[in-house]
């Protein structure tokens, strides 16, 4: 649930079109601006943190290795199929 700066829910702010903040009437835009400011600060803080970057880098590395392995398995599978096909052909002609 989303709350405005004065503790009211956003739905209550939208219904009244005015939010009461410590006795003063302030427009709804002030209530929403405060929420947007909090979100901007949180995103800025997340952008500057470096704690989870190692885990993301390892995850990307695993994904790249998996993609390479899938591509290699496709080529390897067709090569193995050709070897067995030629071996079967040699056994039937012998």
6-49 confidence digits (pLDDT tens)? 566 666 655 554 444 445 555 556 667 778 888 888 888 877 87
Integer angstrom CA distances of residue 69 from 3, 62, 72: 49, 10, 5
Integer angstrom CA distances of residue 10 from 1, 15, 19, 30: 8, 9, 10, 12
pLDDT, position 60: 93
Predicted confidence (pLDDT) at residue 61 exceeds the cutoff of 70: yes
How far apart are the C-alpha atoms of 37 and 81, rounded to whole Å? Answer: 61
Of residues 94 and 81, which shows the higher confidence score? Answer: 81
pLDDT, position 27: 56
Of residues 18 and 87, which shows the higher confidence score? Answer: 87
Strand partners, 9: 3
Integer angstrom CA distances of residue 7 from 30, 32, 47, 73, 77: 13, 12, 28, 58, 63
What percentage of the chain reaches a pLDDT higher than 90?
23
């Amino acid at each position: 649930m989303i709350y405005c700066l004065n503790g009211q829910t956003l739905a209550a702010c939208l219904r009244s079109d005015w939010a009461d903040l410590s006795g003063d009437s302030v427009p709804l835009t002030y209530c929403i601006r405060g929420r947007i400011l909090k979100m901007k600060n949180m995103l800025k803080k997340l952008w500057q943190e470096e704690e989870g970057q190692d885990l993301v880098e390892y995850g990307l590395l695993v994904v790249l290795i998996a993609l390479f392995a899938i591509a290699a398995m496709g080529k390897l599978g067709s090569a193995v199929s050709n070897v067995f096909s030629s071996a079967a052909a040699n056994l039937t002609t012998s």
